[in-house]
Amino acid sequence: MTEKAPLIVWFRQDLRIADNPALMQAVQSGHPVLPVYILDDETPGGWKPGGAARWWLHHSLQALRDALADRGATLVLRRGAAAEVMSRLVRETGAAGVYWNRCYEPYAIKRDMALKEDLRARGLDAQSFNGSLLFEPWTIETKQGGFYKVYTRFWHACREKGDPPAPLPAPDNIPGPKPDVETDALDDWDLLPTTPDWAGGLGARWQPGEAGAMARFCEFLETGLEGYKTRRDFPADTVTSNLSPFLHIGDIGPRQVWHETVRHAGWTDATEKFLKELVWREFAYHVFYHLPDLPDAPMYARFKAFPWADDDEMLAAWQQGRTGYPMVDAGMRELWQTGHMHNRVRMVTASFLVKHLLLPWQAGEAWFWDTLVDADLAVNAFSWQWVAGCGADAAPYFRIFNPIMQGSKFDPDGAYIRKYVPEIAGLPDKYLFAPWEAPDDVLHDAGIELGKTYPKPVVDHKTARERALAAFKSLPENEPA
């Protein structure tokens, strides 16, 4: 009996077996299934994965490879411009078609549409599915047929649609084609960082892959969800889910998160607060789909006239966590050491960059892109524009986070700051958030010499705030015609 031609399942940001529509559809077709991942550093241009995301990708691919092998399939790894690599692979294998789950970056949409058209013109089966979002970006519309720019209205529109579809189970068996197809060695891709401390810092905190995602999610449901609504803004607490990197790479899907959260806890205040954060991710994709230049240009054109500063020394101080403001420095050091930063602290550090230092949000976006394990093009760009005041549902320009008050309010006992800024750990809580206000004898007793063991503030908060307000007020009130 002649074996059917294989169907290629092209894995991208869906590195899991469960709730994978493209994989399930291919398995159910009765064709042998050939799983493929292509490392494409060409098509994204300047937005190829950054260093921390590449570390995560390496380990997620390892986990996916093992999970597929357990079910009888072999993950094929190739590298290059994805459309060209896929076209060659189809010819090599005599594939009957290619299935994939959709990506929403503009370069990916353009590439995938062209590939689908080419495959179908050759008489092959080319299908794409939704494996990354609760709802496709174009399915949520205003009554006028446009897209939403205010989150609350977007949330209500999503709720009016009802619960998202239930997640799909993992297939028990994935029959692979024979003979074997040539594949790259994962280690040859050099995805892991070369700095040992950074690699160790990431590995100590994270377990990438589908099993790691489910373990983290189950732990959150058991120990974090109940206190999520009231304690999520406190970075020293452990109530946040830390699911963002798993969601970005697709170790877990949002439908799994939605339905399992409701099944576990019912619809409580904590459940709703948590799911609203999941839908905030959807909102970012919704806006990004309709405004594909979001990572590069302000959503509102009048912000192009903003008088940004150009100061490499200030940018480096921010990147390295030596601004002299402990809450900011703790966040930037957490980012460097772990590839992650607590959400509240992300807002504080981002606000400090764009409003205290008047440095462009794109500079912060680029740094986060390279250092975050959850570096997601839609969410990263959307969030930076939100803080800068030039994006959807943006914080008003006069909302300038006070890094001193943010520290004392959300890290009142200093546990978070002392962990990441240990050189000032000996300060009493009274002075921990503004060391420059401590008397000389208190600094001496704590072993601190400002300007040597810990930086003096790079800017004065009051002066910086007034300068930022003046800069924002200088913008034209209306959008250019």
| Residue position matching structure tokens 């006070």 | 402
> One of 226, 343, 423, 436 is an active-site residue; which one?
343
Measured from the Cβ of residue 346, the count of other Cβ atoms closer than 10 Å reads 21
- Can you tell me the distance from the alpha carbon of 14 to that of 7, in angstroms, rounded to the nearest whole number? 17
- Can you tell me the distance from the alpha carbon of 332 to that of 319, in angstroms, rounded to the nearest whole number? 6
| Residue position matching structure tokens 């690699």 | 199
Q: What length does the chain have?
A: 481
Which of 463, 420, 433, 428 minimizes the C-alpha distance to 446?
428
Measured from the Cβ of residue 92, the count of other Cβ atoms closer than 10 Å reads 11
Strand pairing category for 76-79 and 125-129: unpaired
Do 351 and 439 form a contact (C-beta atoms < 8 A)?
no
Measured from the Cβ of residue 99, the count of other Cβ atoms closer than 10 Å reads 24
Catalytic: 280?
yes
Catalytic: 308?
yes
> One of 136, 272, 308, 423 is an active-site residue; which one?
308
- Can you tell me the distance from the alpha carbon of 67 to that of 63, in angstroms, rounded to the nearest whole number? 6
Catalytic: 155?
no
> One of 100, 318, 384, 386 is an active-site residue; which one?
384
CA distances from 287 to 101, 140, 271, 292, 295 (A): 20, 11, 24, 8, 11
Catalytic: 56?
no
- Can you tell me the distance from the alpha carbon of 331 to that of 335, in angstroms, rounded to the nearest whole number? 6
> One of 280, 336, 369, 386 is an active-site residue; which one?
280
R_g of the chain computed on alpha carbons? 24
Mapped onto helix, strand or coil, the DSSP state of residue 127 is strand
> One of 55, 155, 198, 361 is an active-site residue; which one?
361
Mapped onto helix, strand or coil, the DSSP state of residue 382 is helix
Measured from the Cβ of residue 400, the count of other Cβ atoms closer than 10 Å reads 21
Mapped onto helix, strand or coil, the DSSP state of residue 275 is helix
Q: Which two tokens stand for residue 64?
A: 């996916």
Which of 414, 425, 413 minimizes the C-alpha distance to 453?
425
Do 458 and 349 form a contact (C-beta atoms < 8 A)?
no
Catalytic: 343?
yes
Q: Which residues pair with 97 in a beta bridge?
A: 7, 125
Which of 419, 424, 414 minimizes the C-alpha distance to 452?
424
Whether residue 49 has a cis bond before it, omega within 30° of 0: no
Catalytic: 361?
yes
Residues assigned a catalytic role: 277, 280, 308, 343, 361, 384
